Structure 1
Amino acid sequence: VCSPEYWVRHVRETVRFLNGVRALEAQGVTAYIEVGPDGVLSALAQDCLTEPADDIAAEDTPAPLLVPVLRKDRPEPQALVAALAEIHVHGETVDWRGFFAGRGARRVELPTYAFQHQRYWLEAGASAGDAAAFGLDPADHPLLGGAVPLAGADGLVFTGTLSLHTQPWLADHVLRGEAVLATTALVELAVRAGDEVGLGHVEELVIQAPLALPRGGGVQIQLVLGEEDETGTRSLEMYSRAAEPVGEDEWICHASGVLAPEPDDATTAEVAAGLAAWPPPGAERVEVDGLYELLAGDGLVYGPSFRGLRAVWQRDDEVFAEVSLAEESVVDAQRFGLHPALLDAALQPLGLGVLDGVGRGRMLFSLAGISLYASGASALRVRLARTGPETLSLTAVDGAGEAVVSADTLTLRQVATEQPEAAPAADAAGTLPEPAASSEAAAETP
């Protein structure tokens, strides 16, 4: 192959490539290495084998190895070393001593393994977030660390820490310059607490004060479930305080409510019925461009994680919307019952002012009759319907028309234009102040 005459004959005469590959195969050759500028011959050789590699692999027999040493779209050194590595890991012999000659390479000992007495790997200790290490039951939720049943009582307490460092998507919900936990996150926490005790219905949830998230440090949260009463319901309260409290730091109550068993007459068919036809017949399309800039002018700034509103329609006192999570949040949706950013987007059409009395300047104050039928949704079709001067209902289904969530009553109240005293903005020491006495003035945005 090093003589010019060979290549002259190679060009002028029949190559008989098929015969050559079949002859090698008949002699038991199982590895074919192509020395050339690309992988064309490797592909041809695959077609020349009497038993294709795919068929052999299906029979649990090692398939023939076909490796080109060069590729036209890769640097030659990289392609050559990759080819040698592929040959080696398939059990063929590579002269690595010759390959590394003159390069100063030397042998080193491999790490030891579990069955050997000499330890190499560090012992895995309990992590800072290991609930069991602190005597808690794992909460299995992105916003909660653990849960502890109360000794001698029927109550239950969930604990967790919220931080913009470990949960950066929370910083995408800003109210008057402060990162504030969306009210929909409180709804999600209430639903999770109910699941733990077999109560699938949030009978009532009243927002007491917004929960500000400091740029530095974190916020400790607690969900306190009371004992079950004679009707089968439990009280629920949600508190927070600075993760590193200074002095006599008091817990702030942000929401209170009641958890109850799922109503006997609850049916997903009824929830989905009003959203079966899509887009909704008789509804007029509403322009949504500029909504987030409009809300920012009112002091409510949404970052990418919360910008999920895609389309809106209106029909009399009904508003319909398509919402979906940002791409980077879709995977996280599986860890939530209903991702707070997705439920928040379902309420954002109200910011367009399409319903008088429940539009801009009016924020979510309380919720009643909340049921979650399916978890992990990343997109919703939503119906908001007026039920009173300051109230409306919500139903939502997924893209397949299956029921996801419903709320019988959402109550909205006017929010004061001045900075509410209840907003617990962290001071330099990270301490959160007391909430205002008026929960109406402190009512937070959806």
Structure 2
Amino acid sequence: MATGASSVSSSTGRSPSNPVQFHPTVKKLLNDGHSVFIEASPHPVLTTALQDTADTTDTHALITGTLRRNEGTLHRFHLSLAHLHTHGIPVDWTPAVPEAGDDAPHDLPTYPFQHRSYWLEDAATDGDPESLGLHTTQHPLLAAATTLAQGDALLLTGRISLRTHPWLADHAIDGTAVLPAAAALELALEAGRLLGDLPVDELTLDAPVAIPAAGGVDVQMTAGAPRGDGRRELTLHTRAYDDADDDSALHRAWTSHGTGLLGAAGSASDSAPGSLTSWPPAGATAVDAGEVYERLVA
């Protein structure tokens, strides 16, 4: 049966002089705009042929049966009606569903469904440092900071990888990406900024920070408690991680890369550089970074 009160039937007792003309008839119905075909039978045998015909004409058609072999129940019939209903075909449910009583169908509410979760919400929110009791920084390499409960030290943490910081791939020595020394200085400057714009008096890098091709490194920049002269000692550490890390990663050793000193409070103006109102500064000469790397490799 097709929409528009058209029907298609077949006979297994056809003769060569009186063919069924199933394929031409279905094509004619499709060309006339019929798009829904229902095979009313105890088991669909024509739905495949109907679908093949629709495919050859590049026509979208909804094709279904009513019952199936070993499923000749009213429930199966209702499932077929529901299939049509969910595809936008009007179905008169009056004979199937009582119109009165508690089982009567109801319209959907005119407002959005109001959802209440049965389970408790997860306290963590996608790695937000604030939800972990840390301070969120705006630094591209050090994402979080906190002060230690004992010792008045400042701890800054972050993660660096070629995936999150692809520009590091351009700073490679002998095929290995490394964190530029200027970036390490920037980490120290961030520690000083969070402690009230303390200047960086010293920074000595003992070992380069190598960035692995897969995974990355955890970074810790620590500014210790003020000494007697008001200065704070800096330390830079990293440890490698991979994307499949589990709890065992907590036991990986940290590598020390450098130490330094932050100046005392109130000394920032003594060593602060002049304001750079233009870039590059007047009189500066551009240097090809590739030449510098070649010299370092040599």
TM-score (norm: length of structure 2):
0.51
Aligned twin of 1:118: 115
Are positions 1:202 and 2:205 aligned together? no
Distance in 2, matches of 1:223 and 1:247, equals 17
Write the deviation string for residues 351-399 of structure 1: whole angstroms up to 9, x where unpaired. xxxxxxxxxx4xxxxxxxxxxxxxxxxxxxxxxxxxxxxxxxxxxxxxx
Give, in angstroms, the shift of residue 263 of structure 1.
3.0
Structure 1 residue ranges without an equivalent (≥5): 1-103, 299-360, 362-414, 418-446
Give, in angstroms, the shift of residue 166 of structure 1.
1.8
Are positions 1:191 and 2:194 aligned together? no
Aligned twin of 1:318: none
Aligned twin of 1:170: 168
Distance in 1, matches of 2:270 and 2:182, equals 22
* 8 Å contact kept, 1:201–1:262: no
Distance 1:111 1:249, change over 3 A: farther
* 8 Å contact kept, 2:203–2:260: yes
Distance in 1, matches of 2:220 and 2:211, equals 15
Q: Alignment partner for residue 138 of structure 1, among 136, 140, 154? A: 136
Are positions 1:271 and 2:292 aligned together? no
* 8 Å contact kept, 2:173–2:297: no
Give, in angstroms, the shift of residue 174 of structure 1.
0.8
SS of residue paired to 2:137: strand
Distance in 1, matches of 2:132 and 2:230, equals 30
Distance 1:225 1:111, change over 3 A: farther
- 1:237 maps to amino acid: T
Distance in 2, matches of 1:247 and 1:144, equals 19
* 8 Å contact kept, 1:129–1:145: no
Write the deviation string for residues 13-32 of structure 1: whole angstroms up to 9, x where unpaired. xxxxxxxxxxxxxxxxxxxx
SS of residue paired to 2:211: coil
Distance in 1, matches of 2:139 and 2:200, equals 18
* 8 Å contact kept, 1:139–1:158: no
Aligned twin of 2:253: 250
* 8 Å contact kept, 2:207–2:258: yes
Distance 1:293 1:221, change over 3 A: closer
Aligned twin of 1:230: 228
Distance in 2, matches of 1:249 and 1:163, equals 17
Aligned twin of 2:62: none
The alignment of Structure 1 onto Structure 2 pairs a total of residues equal to: 188
Are positions 1:294 and 2:295 aligned together? no
Query: Please, what is the CA RMSD of the aligned residues?
Result: 4.0
- 1:224 maps to amino acid: T
Distance in 2, matches of 1:204 and 1:124, equals 44
Distance in 1, matches of 2:203 and 2:217, equals 21
Distance 1:201 1:292, change over 3 A: closer
Structure 2 residue ranges without an equivalent (≥5): 1-86, 90-107
Distance 1:170 1:224, change over 3 A: same
Write the deviation string for residues 154-191 of structure 1: whole angstroms up to 9, x where unpaired. 11211111111122222221111001011111111111
Distance in 2, matches of 1:111 and 1:210, equals 63
Write the deviation string for residues 200-234 of structure 1: whole angstroms up to 9, x where unpaired. 31111111110000011111111111101232211
TM-score (norm: length of structure 1):
0.36
Bigger radius of gyration among the two: 2
* 8 Å contact kept, 1:226–1:234: yes
* 8 Å contact kept, 1:112–1:118: no
Distance 1:230 1:160, change over 3 A: same
Q: Which has the higher contact order (CA 8 A, sep 6+)?
A: 1
* 8 Å contact kept, 2:154–2:223: yes
Distance 1:155 1:286, change over 3 A: closer
Distance 1:287 1:193, change over 3 A: closer
